Amino acid sequence: TLKRAHLYEDKITGYFIFSCIVGALGGSLFGYDLGVSGGVTSMDDFLLEFFPQVYERKHAHMQETDYCKYDDQMMTVFTSSLFFAALVSTFGASSLTKNKGRRASIVVGSISFFIGAVMNASAVNISMLIVGRVLLGVGIGFGNQTTSWFKYVVN
């Protein structure tokens, strides 16, 4: 890369802009999930279906703050399972990207994300939700690692 460095001095190329967009979209998956899962976990229909004890606590103490109403270990597992799976899966994604290339990592991440999304959409119990979140986390971990790797290789 040092041999070609003079070609990119003081220039913003289309490829550079594209790599920035890919990197930003990869990182935005985490922010999007935080917004969606935070909104869903406070919805009454969701709470009634999967966390009825939290729903009862939420409506029993309407005048209090929400801080302790959502204190539930399974809800914590549900929320954090995606992020933990994303963290752990980046190590596997790194190895796969190095050995098989970005395309293989993107395919594995996409398949995992798709299966997780279908599983969460059709969930009938908390176990399905958590397994779906783990698969979503693997997809995000692979996607984020691949786009981050792409960003650093280009720059």
Residue-wise pLDDT for 44-99, tens only, equals: 898 899 989 888 888 887 676 666 666 778 988 998 898 899 999 998 898 898 89
Least confident of 24-33, 87-96, 126-135, 138-147: 24-33
pLDDT of residue 111: 95
pLDDT-derived band at 155 (thresholds 50, 70, 90) equals very low
153 has a pLDDT exceeding 70: no
Low-confidence winner among 86-95, 115-124, 143-152 (lowest mean pLDDT): 143-152
Q: What is the pLDDT of residue 148?
A: 65
122, with CB counted inside 10 A (0-12, 13-18, 19+), is: exposed
Query: Is the pLDDT higher at 127 or at 27?
Result: 127
Judge whether residue 108 has pLDDT over 90. yes
Q: Is the pLDDT of residue 3 over 80?
A: no
84-117 as b/e: b if 16+ CB within 10 A: ebbeebbeebbebbeeeebeebbebbeebbebbe
The mean predicted confidence, pLDDT, of the chain is: 82
Q: What distance in Å separates the CA atoms of residue 5 and residue 55, rounded to the nearest whole number?
A: 59
The pLDDT-based confidence of 143 (bands split at 50, 70, 90) is confident
Measure the CA–CA gap between 78 and 131, rounded to whole angstroms. 9
